[in-house]
Amino acid sequence: MAVEVKELLEAGVHFGHLTRKWDPNMAPYVYMERNGIHIINLYKTAAKMDEAGDALAKIAASGRKILFVATKKQAKDIVAEKAGGINMPFITERWPGGMLTNFITIRKAIKKMATIDRMKKDGTFLTLSKKERLQVDRLRAKLEKNLGSIVDMTRLPAALFVVDIKREHIAIKEAQKLNIPIFAMVDTNSDPRQVDYVIPSNDDASKSIDKILTHVTEAITGGLNARKAEKDAKAEGKTEAKVEKTEAKAEPAKTVEKAAPAKTEAKEAANEEE
């Protein structure tokens, strides 16, 4: 899906940071300076959005997960809504240290949530003292807040999508260690060399974040739909193959039935000749 530069302009995607705060490595994506603020080249943004969208669609079509990371106030709700809407994991609270590099420990914490839920279902929870029940409830609420959005992520994600790489520098470092591709909205105050797929854009305004994430999630949805269509086609092909196999088995039986009367007639003719 092609991106309209006019739409990006209306969403304020072009507004960068103050010129004194810029990172020189963002120079290729800066169009001009106006009133002490760098203006991002939206034609490059549009091209990079398409490039990132195609790559994310391929990952989604392969059946792997993309982890969205955004803990800043203006991005949290947007990321939770967009990523949650396409069944992708996301982190909008504090980044848990070792989330990727120590994933086994994180999975143990998630399993603890499931254990508490089982205790509540089978009645074990009620056998605890009032103080213990309160402690368990607090632990469950804390785990839900920090890790509830990644419950379905049973293995490391195939990619990371980050809003504001300066703020999420720990997540970036962990992904780099594990060679996980990083897709990110990169503002003029950040170093784009840390990211595999750069989307030069305003990462502070909620309108800008919403516009970029809408395009990204639509691309991922396209990949998921392609995967579903492929699965359906395979299932249909298997059904057709089974039907053909059944029909092929039934055909020799019919031939035998036809051959039987012919054999009887031949015998009768021989008897008459005798």
Residue 140, C-beta contacts closer than 8 angstroms, at least 6 positions apart: 113, 116, 117
pLDDT for the residue numbered 259? 47
At 213, list the tokens.
């994430």
pLDDT for the residue numbered 274? 45
**115-147: buried (b, 16+ CB within 10 Å) or exposed (e) per residue?**
ebeebeeeeebeeeeeeeeeebeeebeebeebb
Q: Are 112 and 143 in contact (CB under 8 A)?
A: yes
pTM of the model: 0.82
pLDDT for the residue numbered 11? 93
Higher-pLDDT residue of 248, 110: 110
Phi, psi of 68 (to 5 degrees): -95, 135
90-91/66-69 β-pairing: parallel
3-state secondary structure of 270: helix
The residue-averaged pLDDT of 171-183 equals: 96
Which tens digits make up the pLDDT trace of 12-60?
999 999 999 899 999 999 999 999 999 999 999 999 999 999 999 999 9
Partners of 32 in beta bridges: 39
CA dist 196 and 148 (Å) reads: 28
Which tens digits make up the pLDDT trace of 235-274?
877 777 677 777 767 665 554 444 445 455 545 544 544 4
Whether 148 shows a pLDDT value over 70: the answer reads yes
CA dist 185 and 164 (Å) reads: 6
Whether 146 shows a pLDDT value over 60: the answer reads yes
Query: How much of the chain exceeds pLDDT 70, in percent?
Result: 89
